[in-house]
Amino acid sequence: MKIFAAAWLMMVMLPILSDRAMDDKEQIEALYREMYEAMVRKDTTTLNHVHADNFVLTHMTGMHQSKQEYIRAIANGTLNYYSAEHESTV
């Protein structure tokens, strides 16, 4: 019975788990692109959706902004994003 269970796990469950990991990766990449498109469009609704409530942006200068401060700075033009290009992760 143990051999059957191990064989079932390897033949049935591992491919499902592998496919799920691919789905998660694709979802993360889609959210990443959605985030950058929203930054360019100044789409505060989408930015609120794709960022966790406890999100903190750390700028290259070391300055920190909460989610609310960051989205407000995009909306009022303090932070401006004009385009974003994405390279393949493969």
Q: pLDDT digits over 3-62, tens only?
A: 433 443 344 444 544 556 668 888 988 899 999 999 999 999 999 999 999 999 999 999
Identify the pLDDT of residue 14: 44
Minimal CA–CA distance to 75: which of 40, 49, 34?
Answer: 40
Each domain of the chain, given as residue ranges in start order, spans: 2-75
% pLDDT > 90, the chain: 56
Q: How many other CB atoms are found less than 10 A from the CB of residue 89?
A: 8
Non-local (6+) Cβ contacts of 54 within 8 A are 67
pLDDT in tens, 46-77: 999 999 999 999 999 999 999 999 999 999 99
